[in-house]
Amino acid sequence: MNRKRLNWIMIFLSVLLCPIHIFAAGSEDESPDIQAFLVQLFNERTQFLIDQKPEYIDKFYEMKDKLGRYAYEQELLRSKYINTWAEKRGIAFSAAESSIRIHRIKKEGNLAKVSLNQSLQLSYVYKNNKVNPQSFGIGTRHGLTLKKINGEWLVLREWYTDPLTENPKWIPEFKGFPNPTFLKSETDSVQNGDKINQRYNRQKAVEYANKYAGAAWGAGNDHRYNKKYLDYTYKGGDCTNFASQVIGDKSEGGGLRMRSGWHYSSEGSQSWVRTDSFKNFVLHSGYGKLVAKDYFSDVIKPTEKYPNGAIASLKPGDLIAYEMNGDVDHFSILVGFDDHGYPLVNSHTADRYRVPFDLGWDKNTKYLLIHIND
C-alpha cells in the first residue's frame, strides 16, 4: 500500500469480476446508458485480471487525456501486481464475481460524475491442490469522471480506495509458505471457547470483524459499517477505528474495557483512531504484547522460538500492524487461516474480508504481530 496507506490512490484497478450486479442506492441520475457502461467496464476489468489482455479494457478510457491514460495504466499495474503475487504464493485465480452499488450519478453536459462501491469476490486454488477453491473479498469506494465522446462514454479519471499498486518486483517470496501447520493456531484458539470470565472474547471479536467488514464481499450488515461509530475513511482512514471496535465493542465485539486515553463516545479518542497511538496503547496497557516485528520472510520462517514461524503463534482475534518507514500505516485483524494455512485478515478503508495478510504490501513492509491477552 503506498506510504500512508490510507491516502486515496488515483485509480487502481477497480477490481475484477464477473458477473456484475448493480444496486442503485439513491443515485441522483440513474441514467441507464451510464449504468450499462459501468457494468461493461467492471465486467471487462474482471476478465482482464484473469486473462491479462489489455485490448479488452483500453477501449473504455480517454487515452488522449493524461489522467484517462493514467487510470488505464494503473489497471495494467494492478493486474501485474496481483498475478505476480499469486505466482509467488503458488496459487492461481479460478473465478471472480462482484457487485456495484451506485450512490450517485450527476451529469454535467458531456461529463458525468459517478460515485459507487464495488464488492469483489476472488476465488483461488493452490497449484498443488486444485480441488478446493478458496475465496476472499475486497470492497472499494470509487469516484469516476466519465466523458461522452462520439456518443460513447469513456473514463476520464478515477480514484478509489484500493492499495494494490505496489511494484511487483518488490513482492517477497519464501519457499514452504503457506504451511498447513498454521491451522493448529486456529483450532487451539477461538474454538476453545475460552475460559469463563475471560476478559477478551475472541469469537465475538472475529464475528464482529466479519459482520462489519464494509463493502468487501463476504461481509455482513448489508456491506455497511457499524452506524454506532463515525466513519474515518475521509479523515485519514478507518482501519484503526475498526480495530478498536473489534477488540473493544462491549455488545458485539471482543469486549475489552475502554480506558482513559482509549475510548469512544461521540467520537474516538486519539488512541482509538490513530495507528501509532493505538499501537502504543495496546502494548503498554497490558491488553496486548508484541510477538514479533520484522519483514515478511522473517515473521514466517521457522525459528527455535517459533518452529512454525512467529505468525503461526497468532490466534484469530489478534492484530497485525503494517509499518512503513518507521510509521504504522495500517491495522488489520487476524480472522483465521485458509485450508492451506494462509493467515487471513479483515480491515477497513481498503475493506477486506478473509484476505491473505500480505496482499498489497511489499518487501519494505514490517509486520507487527500483536497478541491480545485473554
Which of 181-190, 287-296, 304-313 bottoms out in mean pLDDT, i.e. has the lowest? 181-190
Q: Which pLDDT does position 23 carry in this prediction?
A: 54
Span 73-100, average pLDDT: 93
Residues 33-56: pLDDT tens digits? 999 999 999 989 988 888 889 999
Does 207 lie in the same domain as 89? no
Cα maximum dimension of the chain: 68
Residue 201: partners with Cβ closer than 8 Å, 6 or more residues away = 194, 253, 254, 255
pLDDT above 70 for 188:
no
Does 190 lie in the same domain as 140? no
pLDDT above 50 for 12:
no
More confident residue, 20 or 156: 156
For residue 50, the domain's CATH number is: 3.10.450.50
Does residue 111 belong to any structural domain of this protein? Answer: yes
Strand partners, 135: 123
Which of 87-96, 280-289, 314-323, 325-334 bottoms out in mean pLDDT, i.e. has the lowest? 87-96
Q: Which pLDDT does position 246 carry in this prediction?
A: 99
Q: Which pLDDT does position 346 carry in this prediction?
A: 99
Span 179-204, average pLDDT: 67
Q: Which pLDDT does position 198 carry in this prediction?
A: 83
Does residue 184 belong to any structural domain of this protein? Answer: yes
Span 358-363, average pLDDT: 96
Residue 27: partners with Cβ closer than 8 Å, 6 or more residues away = 102, 103, 104, 105
Span 319-338, average pLDDT: 98
pLDDT above 80 for 64:
yes
pTM of the model: 0.90
Does 162 lie in the same domain as 203? no
Q: What are the grid coordinates assigned to 147, written together?
A: 466523458
Q: What are the grid coordinates assigned to 229, written together?
A: 461509530
Per the prediction, the chain carries an average pLDDT of 89
Go through the chain and tell me how many residues it has.
374
d(CA 1, CA 352): 13
Measured in whole angstroms, the distance separating CA 165 from the mean position of its chain's CA atoms is 13
Q: Which pLDDT does position 128 carry in this prediction?
A: 87
Contact call for residues 311 and 369 (beta carbons, < 8 A): yes
Does residue 64 belong to any structural domain of this protein? Answer: yes
Does 185 lie in the same domain as 162? no
Does 290 lie in the same domain as 258? yes
Last residue of a domain, one of 119, 146, 170: 170
Contact call for residues 225 and 241 (beta carbons, < 8 A): no
Residue 183 confidence class, pLDDT cut points 50, 70, 90: low
Residues 234-275: pLDDT tens digits? 999 999 999 999 999 999 999 999 999 999 999 999 999 999
Percent over 90 (pLDDT), the chain? 77
Does residue 1 belong to any structural domain of this protein? Answer: no
Does 316 lie in the same domain as 345? yes
Percent over 70 (pLDDT), the chain? 87
Span 224-240, average pLDDT: 97
Q: Which pLDDT does position 266 carry in this prediction?
A: 96
Does residue 2 belong to any structural domain of this protein? Answer: no
Last residue of a domain, one of 170, 197, 223: 170
Q: Which pLDDT does position 322 carry in this prediction?
A: 98
Does residue 132 belong to any structural domain of this protein? Answer: yes
**Structural domain for 29, as ranges:** 9-170
Q: Which pLDDT does position 349 carry in this prediction?
A: 95
Residues 119-155: pLDDT tens digits? 999 999 999 888 889 999 999 999 999 999 999 999 9
pLDDT above 70 for 306:
yes
Which of 2-6, 23-27, 123-127, 260-264 bottoms out in mean pLDDT, i.e. has the lowest? 2-6
Span 206-230, average pLDDT: 98
Does 27 lie in the same domain as 104? yes
**Structural domains counted in the chain:** 2
pLDDT above 80 for 24:
no
Does 192 lie in the same domain as 102? no
Does residue 41 belong to any structural domain of this protein? Answer: yes
Does 30 lie in the same domain as 156? yes
pLDDT above 90 for 71:
yes
Q: Which pLDDT does position 14 carry in this prediction?
A: 36
Q: What is the 3-state secondary structure (H, E, C) of the chain?
A: CCCCCCCCEECCCCCCCCCEEEEECCCCCCCHHHHHHHHHHHHHHHHHHHHCCHHHCHHHECCCCHHHHHHHHHHHHHHHHHHHHHHHCCEEEEEEEEEEEEEEEEEECCEEEEEEEEEEEEEEEECCEEEEEEEEEEEEEEEEEEEEECCEEEEEEEEECCCCCCCHHHCCCCCCCCCHHHHHHHHCCHHHCCCCCCCCCHHHHHHHHHHCCCCCCCCCHHHCCCCCCCCCHHHCCCHHHHHHHHHHCCCCCCCCCCECCECECCCECHHHHCHHHHHHHHHHHCCEEEEEEEEHHHHHCCCCCCCCCHHHHCCCCCEEEEEECCEEEEEEEEEEECCCCCEEEEECCCEEEEEECCCCCCCCCEEEEEEECC
Contact call for residues 247 and 205 (beta carbons, < 8 A): yes
Does residue 4 belong to any structural domain of this protein? Answer: no
Q: Minimal CA–CA distance to 136: which of 295, 319, 363, 358?
A: 358
The CA radius of gyration of the chain, in Å to the nearest whole number, is 21
Q: Which pLDDT does position 30 carry in this prediction?
A: 55
Contact call for residues 370 and 319 (beta carbons, < 8 A): yes
**Other CB atoms closer than 10 Å to residue 231's CB: what's the count?**
16
Q: Which pLDDT does position 47 carry in this prediction?
A: 83
Span 348-356, average pLDDT: 97
Does 228 lie in the same domain as 349? yes
Does 153 lie in the same domain as 70? yes
Q: In this structure, what are the phi and psi dihedrals at residue 233, rounded to the nearest 5 degrees?
A: -55, -40
Last residue of a domain, one of 112, 146, 170: 170
Does 241 lie in the same domain as 105? no
